[in-house]
Chains A and B, each alone.
Chain A
Amino acid sequence: MREPKKAQDEDFQVFVVAVWPRLLRTAFLLTGQQQAGEDLVQSTLERAYAAWGKVRKANTPEAYVRRILVNEHARRLRRRVPEQLVTELPERAAQDGFGGLDERGVLLKALAELPPRQRQAVVLRYWEDLSESQAAAAMDCSVGTVKSHASKGIAKLRASSALTGMTQIKETV
């Protein structure tokens, strides 16, 4: 018997409130922008809502939604034609980019310069703290591919001269 629509909506809303902050942070690292991150998470959760019956029955709904997020991020990059609701006009974009040349900006810029799949692998492994198999599930690829992308991504971050002074990565490895 199907659950009443209202109950499903309430269930979904509770879920959204719980996962929104972390998804927003992950999306920020993937996109490099506050507004773009918000858009990405909103799109992700819209897709999660559209498939809520399946998402909520997953062993870990959060992992399911994280996979949607990564897919949505990849889809946007492929098409490079963002489709946005007018409700999400990028009016703050100018102040959210990489304008600030502080250390955060340097790391964010270095991250943004990684190829998308390497960026995803780095974010999932080193921010989300996922295992290789979990990251592989999120990226819909093999563990070996995750290893490769993460390794290359980290190597590029380490090699970033702008970052060496900030994190002393080279010295500590």
Chain B
Amino acid sequence: MDLAPLVLSLQIACAAIVVAGVLGVALAALLTRERLPGRDLLDALVTAPTVLPPTVLGYYLLVAIGRRSMIGHAFEQLTGSSIVFTKTGAICAATVGALPIVVKSGRAALEGVDVLLVRAARTLGASPTRAFFTIRLPLAARGIVAALMLAFARSLGDFGVTLMVAGDIPGETQTASLAIYDAIQAHRETEALGMVLVLTAVAIGVLYTVNRLTARRDAH
């Protein structure tokens, strides 16, 4: 079995989870603010990738980071390579799938922290920022770690958006899920089966760990 697609998938998912983690927790924190104008709209926008077809997401991404877009052009000026049809493009695709999971579960974890503890911190002289980093975030940590793991599993398996934005270039953007598709098309069933089993094992392992993590939180 060729391990390259699996290794690439892991690398891309790891990078995506860093981006989605930072961005997602920040968005989740923003969405916990009761007085945020347009909160429901922002929530809908962030969640949309979970229900939109991958082709639609891929289209938007191509418009946003394609070679003729502002971002894509600037990136190419800086680095000499485009975003689309490179590993960077694949990371962007994986991030889009991971982000809603981080935001949704992260928000639930942050909102699960007793608001009274945050208020107590405020009366003890903590600014909203300090109260967030010393009270809300540490108390939600377990839930946020669970969210990141789910998001990691999700980005590991992305197919449609990656194909549209990054293509299917062996060694560069051919992730495990794309390689499985190619292997089946070429009747290399054994090779496909190997990768199928690895991806399944990772997914089940992640879900099991997440269950354990969240169950222990409930037991507190």
Q: Does B associate with A?
A: no
